[in-house]
């Protein structure tokens, strides 16, 4: 099957990392998931480098994730100061468990311009 290119770790790694990124997964988590599948480190690193060449980074992936989950700037319900602190605490935990660094989480949750966030997301999808 390898001779006929039905099984190709490089192609699988590139496609899977691109798909996971577009679903809002951090590069750290992409690396872990591909490692679980038995993909060698050099192939994983090449796939992640390819993502970087296409201007796809953890910040934009985190924006995709918070849009999908409707948290942060995309949160649509009204809340007061007490709720704000509790929600931010929950959102920090959610993004941290998804593999994003503290700096990325802080930057994403402090973003306050919805059109700028939408533009960043739309720019990286193509």
Answer whether residue 2 is part of any domain: no
Question: Is 63 in the same domain as 48?
Answer: no
Is position 13 within any domain?
Answer: yes
The reply to whether 69 and 26 lie within a common domain is no
Q: Which domain holds residue 17?
A: 9-53
For residue 116, the model assigns a pLDDT of 86
Predicted TM-score (pTM) of the model is 0.82
Indicate if 62 and 99 belong to the same structural domain. yes
- Same-domain status, 63 and 46: no
Q: Do residues 94 and 115 both lie within one domain?
A: yes
Query: How many domains does the chain contain in total?
Result: 2
90 shares its domain with 117: yes
Higher pLDDT, 6 or 108: 108
- DSSP annotation string for the chain: -TTTTS--HHHHHHHHHHHHHHTT--HHHHHHHHHHTT--HHHHHHHHHHHHHTT--HHHHHHHHHHHHT-GGG--S---HHHHHHHHHHHHHHHHHTT--HHHHHHHHT---HHHHHHHHHHH--
Domain membership of residue 3 (yes or no) is: no
The whole-number pLDDT of residue 8 equals 85
pLDDT tens digits for range 61-114? 999 999 999 998 888 888 777 778 888 899 999 999 999 999 999 999 988 888
Same domain for 120 and 73 = yes
pLDDT tens digits, residue range 80-92? 777 788 888 999 9
User: What pLDDT band is residue 125 in, cutting at 50, 70 and 90?
Assistant: low
Same domain for 62 and 22, yes or no, is no
Q: Specify whether 64 is located in the same domain as 116.
A: yes
**Which tokens go with 68?**
């999908």
**Per-residue pLDDT tens for 21-33?**
989 999 999 999 9
Verify that 62 and 75 share a domain, yes or no.
yes
């Amino acid at each position: 099957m390898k001779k006929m290119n039905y099984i190709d770790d490089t192609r699988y790694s590139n496609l899977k990392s691109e798909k996971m990124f577009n679903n809002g997964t951090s590069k750290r988590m992409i690396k872990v998931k591909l490692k679980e599948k038995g993909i060698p480190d050099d192939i994983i690193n090449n796939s992640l480098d390819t993502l970087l060449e296409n201007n796809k980074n953890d910040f934009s992936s985190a924006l995709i994730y918070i849009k999908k989950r409707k948290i942060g700037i995309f949160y649509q319900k009204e809340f007061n100061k007490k709720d704000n602190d509790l929600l931010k605490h929950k959102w920090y935990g959610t993004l941290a468990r998804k593999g994003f660094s503290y700096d990325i989480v802080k930057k994403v949750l402090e973003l306050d311009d919805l059109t700028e966030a939408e533009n960043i997301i739309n720019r990286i999808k193509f």
